[in-house]
Amino acid sequence: MRVAPKVTLTDEQRATLRRWSRGRTTPTRLVRRARIVLLAAEGKQNIEIAEQLGIERTIVGRWRRRFVTRGLSGLEKDASRGGRPADTALARKIVEHTTQCEPPSATHWSTTSLANVLGTSPSTVSRVWRANGLKPHLVRCIPRRQGIDRND
């Protein structure tokens, strides 16, 4: 049987972990990690902590080991970041098509029509429009003309 590494905390570490575990604006991942370490410092086993927090035992073991080896900075790593990185090239393409290209037989782009042309989902188009303040249904598109430089 493997024995989980013992977790000992300084007063400063304990105060920081308590603040993280109670913080309303603290990322959820960091709250869970802080709770794991606080319970481990009380001498609880991984199985007990997992049952109490409603998570897998392997997750408890991972964060216990990471705290023992790296300290508080090991818990903070990637705590607020989640999901796939943003595709900025696709976002640029969506903005460019929305503002520079006129849709076939329509006055403005819809999320579905633009998504079909660019091979993405309507929710992605909508998300990019919101992030860039675009409202194609309120403004008519300006078609791009070849050979004309708009900077003149």
pLDDT, one tens digit per residue, over 121-130 is: 999 999 999 9
Locus of tokens 């709770």: 35
Chain segment 102-121, per-residue pLDDT in tens: 888 888 899 999 999 999 99
Domain spans, the chain? 11-76, 84-152
Higher pLDDT, 116 or 148: 116
Chain segment 18-69, per-residue pLDDT in tens: 999 998 888 888 999 999 999 999 999 999 999 999 999 999 999 999 999 9
Handedness of CA 114, 118, 124, 130 (dihedral sign): negative
Locus of tokens 């290209």: 101
Higher pLDDT, 77 or 81: 77
Lowest mean pLDDT among 15-29, 50-64, 71-85, 138-152: 138-152
